[in-house]
Amino acid sequence: MKEIVINAQRREIIGKRVKSMRREGQLPAVLYGRNIEAIPIMFDYHETSRVIDRLSASTLVVIEIDGESHYSLVREKQRDVIRGNLLHVDFQAVSLSEKVRAEAVVELVGESQSIKDLGGVIIVNNETLEVEALPRELPDRIEVDISALKEIGDAIYVRDLELAGDVSILVDEDEPIVLATLPTIEAEPEEEEVEEEEILEGAEPEVIEKGKVEEEEAAKE
């Protein structure tokens, strides 16, 4: 896979003052790791936001700072809760010779006969799976072929996955990832029946109607 390289610059502005950077089209971030001190950095938002937005937690990316290359993984993306745009990104520098853990996204592929022919639905039990591997062997995503789900009740478990390279899935092998089941039909709430006699015996005129009666009686006096 071709390496993803992003150019960054060191930044002096930190704390609440980074708001001014965003207004100027810069995306603040930080790069940290076991063997380096935390480095406040920034990216050109227009040039890099789309690339960073597509990075998963298991995607290896090279950050270029002052001519130095830092292999890293995205550890956190902060977003505007209303607009959804990126506000800040945390990157963790990693060693290519040491295994790391990351969350790999589960991606469903194929066509399930249980959906096409039996009207079933697919329940996704795990949207991500924690994996461990050398940084260059981390899967960007884990494909799960749902064509294996032929009958209602069929499931695909962690133990059914086959990943390339020396990749360990740190989830119980008996954990179901996806399951074919029938759609749930919600029963309509039953209306409470009230006997006509109860209405006639217990009913009183509404206040507004009672007021009209009093007004009419007052007019007659």
Residues 64 and 62: their CA atoms lie apart, in Å, by: 6
Question: What span, in angstroms and rounded, lies between the C-alpha atoms of 77 and 55?
Answer: 10
The DSSP bridge pattern shows strands 68-79 and 61-65 to be: antiparallel
CATH 3.40.50.150 fits 4-94, yes or no: no
Closest by CA position to 70, among listed 125, 6, 117, 131? 6
213: pLDDT strictly greater than 60 = no
In the 8-state DSSP scheme, what is residue 138?
A: -
Q: pLDDT of 132-147, one tens digit each?
A: 999 999 999 999 999 9
In the chain, residues under CATH classification 2.170.120.20 are 101-181
Phi–psi pair at 162, nearest 5 degrees: -125, 110
- Each residue's pLDDT tens digit, 29-55: 999 998 888 999 999 999 999 999 999
CA 104 to chain centre: 12
Distance CA 209, CA 197 (A): 21
**Architecture of the domain spanning 101-181:** Beta Complex (2.170)
Q: Is the model's pLDDT at 181 over the cut of 70?
A: yes
Domain with CATH 2.40.240.10 in the chain: 4-94
**Which DSSP state fits 52?**
H
Rounded to 5 degrees, φ, ψ at 18 are -65, -15
Residues in the chain: 221
pLDDT at 118 > cutoff 50: yes
Q: Which whole number is the average pLDDT over 197-204? A: 49
